[in-house]
Amino acid sequence: MVEQKKPREPDEVHLDFVREHPCCVCGEPTTVEAHHPRVSVVGDGGPGMAQKASDKWAVALCGRHHRELHSMGEGEFWASYGISPMAVAIHYGRRP
């Protein structure tokens, strides 16, 4: 029997908090979007196929870098900039 993934945990307040940060790649502060990394999270298992990760793992990317990421793929994008999206998400932490 296949174990079902936990449902996505939406948190619009946290997404707004993430969007208040500059792009985690270039520091551009005006066109920031919340990106949901597709890489697996220890203890979380990551999203299932065709599912967005929980909002708690969102990171800030400017529009240009967000589109670049989607054009090349998650692993290649983060590796090319030497950034761990999970470390960035943990750094944002949960909004108090």
Residues (pLDDT < 70) of the chain are 1-8, 39-51, 94-96
**Could you identify the residue written with the tokens 């400017």?**
62
| pTM exceeds 0.85 for this model | no
pLDDT 10s digits, 73-90:
888 999 999 999 989 998
Q: Per the structure block, which two tokens stand in for 91?
A: 């750094």
Domains of the chain: which residue ranges? 12-38+53-92
- What pLDDT does 68 receive? 97
